[in-house]
Amino acid sequence: MTSFHYANYVDFNIFSAYYTKMTNTLNKHIREIDGNAQRQYIDAKAVFTALEEARKSAAEVRGGMLWKTQNGTDYLIRTTTRRGQKSLGPRSEQNEKIFVEFTARKRRVEQRVSELRKELERHRRLNKIYHVGRAPDMLVAILNKLAASGLSEYFTVIGTHSLYAYEAAAGVRFELNEALETKDIDLLWDTRKRLSFLGQMEVLGSSFLALLRQVDATFELRRDQLYTAVNNHGFEVDVVRRVAKDSDPHPLKLTDHDDEFYAVQAEKAGILLDGEKFSSMIVSSTGRMARMHTISPAVFVRLKQWLGERDSRDPLKRKRDLLQAELVEKMLEEYPLGIPATKA
């Protein structure tokens, strides 16, 4: 017969009572958004994703085609947005067909993009009316700038702002201000794609800091930490990277421009790059929408638990780390179908 230990019984009941109390507390701080807001998010997302696809199609027909006469012969010329020209050969039945199909497709795609933009603006207003989202406008603006510049694939949002993607996908609100209060966004730069990134920046003819200034002209690098830019409202953008390995340069500047970010090394960043990713449409308090690429909720929980257990970390940040981990873990238990993760 198994012996009975009163001390073990007491310990178990203390733990059980604590767990029940903590679970009930967390439940109170995770609230489903109302039905109207849920339906509006779904409708807005359908238009948003349709516009994403339309823009991809528009990118394929960027530039134009024209006929150019040289030495008495007509040549089909493919033009680029940067005034480049490439001859596709002399006029022929095949080239005439290519010209007709290209111009028809370009007209069709541009019309679709235009109409979807108008529809998205209508949904922006509805998002605001139904209080669909509450992400910061600056966050949404930065993510949209990355997308418009063809840079989204090079950056992963990590840290507190990831919570906006999780709650949007799950149709919930985290109602703990201390869990969400932050005025900085952490962008994890994928140095494995550095050459491709530099090629795109060359096409853009810009530094990364200059791109941020197109969102808010007041962004300036902090001279005491060149991986951080801050605007006049105190909103910060941090660029982090994995710890240098293999042939990684260090220190590492994003571009060769004089006024530019240096990415700071972050422990565990390599694991985050290799781990599961998550993508979701987020909505600001003014109804504006953007796609956030971030780490999966499960990876977020493990990261925050690790940070919360580090003695070297600021005690207030450790407390918030553990709170965020508990909230997301609880959300995953209650709303598992709202969180589809994908492999990087």
Contacts of 248 (CB under 8 A, 6+ apart): 191, 242
Distance CA 297, CA 326 (A): 11
Instruction: Give the pLDDT confidence of 149-162 residue by residue, as tens digits.
Output: 999 999 999 999 99
CB atoms within 10 A of CB 125: 11
- Percent of the chain exceeding pLDDT 90 equals 75
Q: Are 331 and 27 in contact (CB under 8 A)?
A: no
Closest CA to 239 of 208, 196, 274: 208
Distance CA 35, CA 130 (A): 10
* Residues found in the chain: 344
- Tokens at 54, concatenated: 């339309």
How many percent of the chain have pLDDT more than 70?
90
Please indicate whether residue 202 or residue 62 has the higher confidence score (pLDDT).
Answer: 202
List of long-range contacts for 214-222, beta carbons under 8 Å, 24+ apart: 214/145, 215/138, 215/141, 215/142, 215/145, 216/138, 216/141, 221/259, 221/260, 221/261
Instruction: Point out the least confidently predicted range of 20-24, 80-84, 278-282.
Output: 20-24
Going 329 to 331 to 333 to 337, the CA torsion angle's sign is: negative
* Stretch among 89-98, 207-216, 243-252, 324-333 having the lowest mean pLDDT: 243-252
The mean pLDDT value for 176-192 works out to 86
3-class DSSP assignment, residue 54:
helix
**79: which 2 tokens?**
């033009």
The residue with tokens 């421009």 is: 257
Q: Helices 137-148 and 208-215: crossing angle, nearest 10°? A: 130
For the cut 70, the answer to whether the pLDDT of residue 282 exceeds it is yes
Beta strands 30-32 and 172-174, pairing class:
antiparallel
State pLDDT tens for residues 261-270: 999 999 999 9
Query: What's the pLDDT tens digit per position in 185-197?
Result: 999 999 999 999 9
pTM, 2 dp = 0.85
How remote is the C-alpha of 73 from its chain's centroid?
Answer: 50
Residue whose tokens read 């080239």: 95
pLDDT of residue 27: 66
Q: Which two tokens stand for residue 304?
A: 């925050």
Mean per-residue pLDDT, 223-242: 96
State mean pLDDT over 121-128: 98
Using the predicted structure, report yes or no on whether residue 15 has a pLDDT greater than 50: no
Q: How far apart are the C-alpha atoms of 190 and 155, rounded to whole Å? A: 6
Q: What is the pLDDT of residue 25?
A: 55
Pairing between strand 289-295 and 225-230? unpaired
Quickly list DSSP for 276-303.
-EEEEEEEBTTS-EEEEEEE-HHHHHHH
Q: Is 89 left (phi over 0), alpha (psi -120 to 50) or beta?
A: left
H or E element in which residue 274 lies:
helix 269-274
DSSP SS3 for 253: strand
pLDDT for the residue numbered 26: 60
Residue type present at position 70: Q
Nearest to 106 by CA among 153, 150, 145, 59: 59
CA 292 to the chain's CA centroid? 3
pLDDT at 286 over 70: yes
Placement of tokens 């701080």 in the chain: 29
Nearest to 328 by CA among 307, 301, 309: 301
The helix/strand/coil state of 302 is helix
Question: At residue 217, what are phi and psi to the nearest 5 degrees?
Answer: -65, -10
pLDDT computed for residue 12 by the predictor: 42
